[in-house]
Every structure is written in C-alpha cells, then in structure tokens.
C-alpha cells in the first residue's frame, strides 16, 4: 500500500522504515525541513538501535521519500498515518496543537483528491479525540464526510524507545479502532505479515487501551520500588521478594518493569498518567491509585538523591542522562531531575552520554537542552576523563558502553547503580565501593 506518515519523530520514523520492509511505499511528512532533508539523504532523524540502516536502505530503494507538502503526500497515498506528538499541557491535559494542525492539513489535502482515502491516528490521544476533534476538523477543512468521502481509524502504537524495531516486528497485539469493520480491516492489512493478536474494537476503546497500557507500566515501576523500599528496611533483598512475586504469571502479570530500581521517566509515561488523571477528574471521579503514582515516583527520586549524598565525595559522574539506554531522549528524564537536586546540594557534576550531544540533536530534544543550558555545560565527551575525575560514579542505565567503561574505575571510587542492571562480576567484584 501507499502510506503517508505525518510526523517523523520516534514513532513516525520507526513505522516508516519498518513498513517499507513489509512491502509498503512510504511518504514521510514533517514541517521540519531538517528532518525531511535527513530522510531524503538516507539518514534517520532519531537515534534508535538499527534504525539508521533501515532508513538508508528504504531511501536507496525508493520505498521511502519525504516531503513538507501535506497535499502532495495525500494525493500520492491511500492511507495517512498521524504520528505527531501530544505533550502535556499545564494542567495535565493533552496539548493537541500538532494533531489539530495535521488534521486541518489532511483535510485541505483531501480537497485535491477524488479517490477514497483512509486516515488513521497513531498519536496517543484520550478517548473521544478521534471522533470529537480529529474527525470534525478534517471534515471542515475538506468539505467531506467520514464514511462517505473518507474513512477514519485509530491505531495505537506500543513501541518502546530503545527496542522500537523489535516491538514493531514482533507485536503482542495490533489494535485498530474504526467506525466500521471495513475500515478496520483496511488498516489492519498493513500488519498482515506480523505476528500477535489482531484486535478491532470501537475507536474509543482503542484510544483508552493505550492509556491503560502506559498507566499500568508506570504503576509497575512505582509498585516494585515501594516493595523494594519496604524490604530494605527489614533487611530483606527486594529483588528476592519480587522474583517470588513474578512466578505467578497467570493473572496478566508481566515480568517487564517489575524489578526494584530507580524512578521512571521519558516522554510517554509521565504525560499519559497526567492525562488519564485529568480525564478522571473531568468526569468527577476519584482515582487514588493513579494519583499516588507520580508522588511515589518523586519519593523514589528523593531517596536516590539522599542515597547518593550519603556517600563521601563531592565530584559525581553520571554515566547516562537520557531516560533509558539506547535513546537520546532527555525529556522528563528522572536523571535530569536528580542532577538538578544534587547541584542544589553543592555537588560538582559531570555527565557522559554519547547519545546526548547538542550538535546532533534536532526537534524536541534539542529544544529541551537549549532551555537548559546549565545541563549542556555538564556534558563531557570523554568517558575516561569523566570517570577519572569523579569520587562517585552513578550508573543510570544498562548501556554496554557504560558498563565497559567502568572497568577503568579505581578501588577508591564509589560506583552506585541506580537500577538492577546486573554488572558483570569482573566489574562489580573489583570496585570496592560498588553498591546497588
């Protein structure tokens, strides 16, 4: 099929590259000239393991092109997929600015087309958004009607940064909500060669399913950390407790995220918890469990800061500042907040993260760093010098480069592992100050 993908961020770029390997012809659309130019040159605008080679191959074969012209993309495709960001607004609700703009652009593009077209929303939106916001905007801009002149669907993504390609190619489930089964089947045909359950619920059910997944993932991190905190006060290893807990996998419990560790972060989990809580409040509902997630996460970050401050040494080196390994995403990274707190306690900080370099970032990540110049000044590109300088080394994520670099640490240094990463024995055994 011919597919136009609006938004060339993490989701859009991964989908674009992976769809070409399923035999589809893809047109990437973005208002950022920099992102479009990168795609045209066969380069990925995002950092994701394996994505660069896939983009290069797709562009070389002509299966992937890019443009800033929405109408051109609409005219030359059968299905449009919307993958733009939906960040939090000040009150926790979603900022739908980007998705509104794309809906209007698509509507205008449909005016130039006299053939059937299907629009599917892949951006994370609250229930009712596709039907109540996106659909009417497209109808108004195009003069057309849903179900008569064009079709509309919602197709949530379940991709994790750092493992997005594997998640795309081996999904546990693919969900397409549409206003009729024919439309759902048409969108689902994009994934016909992929494994996993294929589910076609009502649109609002599909929209809510994404929030349930993300809210559950967020809850699992906080839940495991609280169990780990309780166990620690009893002199019990929280990992042992959770390993027993994980033996019961019958009741829809997954091992993913259920390990005591540090706080969660990133551009999805905090945002989606806020949005779901806002939705509940707007309906006059009380959600004490949801409302406890972010305060619990703040408590874990405070404990992490106190734990680091309890060790001797004023010079602290962070190996990693993005919210997880394999990504350059620093938005809502718990480690950024941790660094800010430690600086407030008059600690000297240096950061080594090869994925986070201002000169290579574009889009939201670059904007974030430009708004935080103090953070940029802490970034160093020599891991050996960073480790040599420090009294305390904080390992944030399981990036193999960080683990390998720790072999150069000295016995007089303290190495603090914020998550249950599992350092190789030859590293943890030789570092006398190693702590989990």
Size (the chain), residues: 436
Secondary structure of residue 388 in the 3-state scheme = helix
**191-201 exposure pattern, b = at least 16 Cβ within 10 A, e = fewer:** beeeeeebebb
Q: How confident is the model at residue 122 (pLDDT cuts 50, 70, 90)?
A: very high
Tokens of 384: 């050996």
Kindly tell me if the per-residue pLDDT of 118 is higher than 50: yes
Return the pLDDT at 361: 65
Of 54-63, 74-83, 322-331, minimum mean pLDDT range:
322-331
Return the pLDDT at 436: 45
Return the pLDDT at 251: 41
Return the pLDDT at 39: 97
Q: How confident is the model at residue 252 (pLDDT cuts 50, 70, 90)?
A: very low
Tokens of 19: 């769809």
For residue 5, CA distances in Å to 11, 88, 184, 386, 421 come to 10, 22, 18, 41, 36
CA-based torsion, 110, 116, 122, 126: positive or negative: positive
Whether the CB-CB separation of 395 and 415 falls below 8 Å is answered with yes
Return the pLDDT at 258: 59
Q: How confident is the model at residue 432 (pLDDT cuts 50, 70, 90)?
A: very low
pLDDT digit string, tens, across residues 223-251: 788 788 888 878 889 899 888 888 877 64
238 Cα distance to chain centroid: 27
Whether the CB-CB separation of 162 and 131 falls below 8 Å is answered with no
Residue 66 CA to residue 396 CA, distance in Å, equals 36
Whether the CB-CB separation of 25 and 1 falls below 8 Å is answered with yes
CB proximity list for 113: less than 8 A, separation 6 or greater: 74, 75
pLDDT digit string, tens, across residues 72-105: 999 999 999 999 999 998 888 999 999 999 999 9
Q: Which of 319, 318, 317, 322 is nearest to 334 (CA)?
A: 322
Domains and CATH numbers, the chain: 2-201 (3.40.50.720), 203-258 (no CATH), 300-433 (3.40.50.720)
Can you tell me the mean pLDDT for 214-229?
83
Q: Specify whether 268 is catalytic.
A: yes
Annotated catalytic residue: which of 15, 18, 83, 268? 268
Whether the CB-CB separation of 18 and 55 falls below 8 Å is answered with no
pLDDT digit string, tens, across residues 400-410: 888 788 888 88
Element (H, E) at 34: helix 33-40
Residues making up the binding site for NAD(+): 30, 35, 86, 124, 161, 271, 331
Residue with tokens 């394999």: 326
Q: How confident is the model at residue 359 (pLDDT cuts 50, 70, 90)?
A: low
Kindly tell me if the per-residue pLDDT of 196 is higher than 70: yes
Of 138-142, 257-261, 346-350, minimum mean pLDDT range:
257-261
Residue 393 CA to residue 277 CA, distance in Å, equals 37
Listed as own residue / partner, the contacts of 93-99 with beta carbons closer than 8 Å and 24 or more positions apart are 93/274, 93/275, 93/278, 94/125, 94/126, 94/129, 94/271, 94/275, 96/125, 96/129, 96/133, 98/7, 98/123, 99/123, 99/125, 99/129, 99/133, 99/134
What's the angle, vertex CA 34, arms to CA 30 and CA 38, rounded to 5?
A: 90
Kindly tell me if the per-residue pLDDT of 153 is higher than 90: yes
Residue 272 CA to residue 213 CA, distance in Å, equals 10
Please state, rounded to an integer, the average pLDDT across all residues of the chain: 89
| Residue with the larger pLDDT of the pair 280 and 346 | 346
Residue 31 DSSP one-character state: S
Return the pLDDT at 397: 82
Of 88-97, 190-199, 353-362, 395-404, minimum mean pLDDT range:
353-362
Residue 371 CA to residue 373 CA, distance in Å, equals 6
Residues making up the binding site for substrate: 158-161, 210, 257-261, 265, 324
Q: N- to C-terminal Cα distance for the chain? A: 50
For residue 45, CA distances in Å to 34, 211, 304 come to 8, 26, 33
Residues making up the binding site: 30, 35, 86, 124, 158-161, 210, 257-261, 265, 271, 324, 331
Q: Which of 52, 26, 66, 13 is nearest to 190 (CA)?
A: 26
């Amino acid at each position: 099929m011919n597919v136009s993908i609006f938004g060339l961020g993490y989701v859009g770029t991964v989908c674009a590259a992976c769809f070409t390997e399923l035999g589809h012809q893809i047109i990437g659309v973005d208002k950022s000239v920099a992102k479009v130019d990168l795609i045209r040159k066969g380069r990925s605008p995002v950092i994701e393991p394996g994505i660069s080679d896939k983009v290069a191959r797709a562009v070389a074969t002509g299966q992937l092109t890019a443009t800033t012209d929405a109408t051109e993309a609409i005219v030359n495709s059968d299905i449009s997929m919307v993958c733009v960001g939906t960040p939090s607004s000040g009150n926790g609700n979603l900022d739908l600015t980007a998705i509104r703009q794309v809906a209007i652009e698509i509507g205008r593009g449909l005016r130039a087309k006299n053939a059937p077209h299907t629009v599917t929303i892949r951006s994370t939106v609250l229930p009712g958004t596709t039907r109540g916001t996106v659909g009417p905007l497209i109808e108004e801009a195009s003069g057309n009607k849903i179900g008569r002149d064009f079709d509309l669907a919602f197709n949530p993504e379940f991709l994790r940064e750092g493992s997005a390609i594997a998640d795309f190619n081996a999904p546990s489930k693919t969900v397409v909500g549409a206003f009729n089964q024919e439309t759902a089947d048409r969108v689902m045909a994009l994934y016909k060669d992929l494994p996993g359950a294929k589910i076609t619920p009502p649109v609002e059910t599909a929209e809510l399913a994404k929030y349930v997944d993300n809210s559950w993932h967020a809850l699992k991190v906080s839940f495991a950390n609280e169990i780990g905190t309780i166990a620690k006060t009893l002199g019990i290893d929280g990992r042992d407790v959770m390993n027993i807990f994980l033996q019961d996998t019958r009741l829809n419990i997954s091992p993913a995220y259920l390990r005591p560790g540090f706080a969660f972060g990133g551009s999805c989990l905090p945002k989606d918890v806020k949005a779901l809580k806002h939705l509940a409040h707007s309906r006059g509902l009380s959600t004490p469990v949801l409302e406890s997630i972010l305060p619990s996460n703040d408590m874990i970050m405070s404990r992490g800061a106190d734990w680091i401050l309890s060790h001797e040494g004023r010079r602290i080196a962070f190996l990693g500042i993005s919210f997880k390994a394999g990504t350059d995403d620093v938005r809502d990274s718990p480690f950024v907040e941790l660094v800010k707190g430690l600086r407030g306690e008059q600690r000297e900080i240096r950061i080594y993260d090869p994925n986070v370099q201002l000169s290579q970032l574009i889009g939201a990540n670059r904007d974030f760093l430009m708004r935080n110049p103090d953070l940029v000044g802490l970034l160093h590109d020599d891991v050996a010098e960073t480790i040599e300088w420090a009294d305390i080394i904080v390992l944030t994520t399981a990036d193999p480069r960080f683990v390998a670099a720790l072999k150069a640490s000295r016995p007089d240094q303290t190495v603090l592992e914020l998550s249950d990463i599992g350092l190789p024995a030859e590293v943890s055994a030789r570092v006398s100050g190693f702590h989990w």
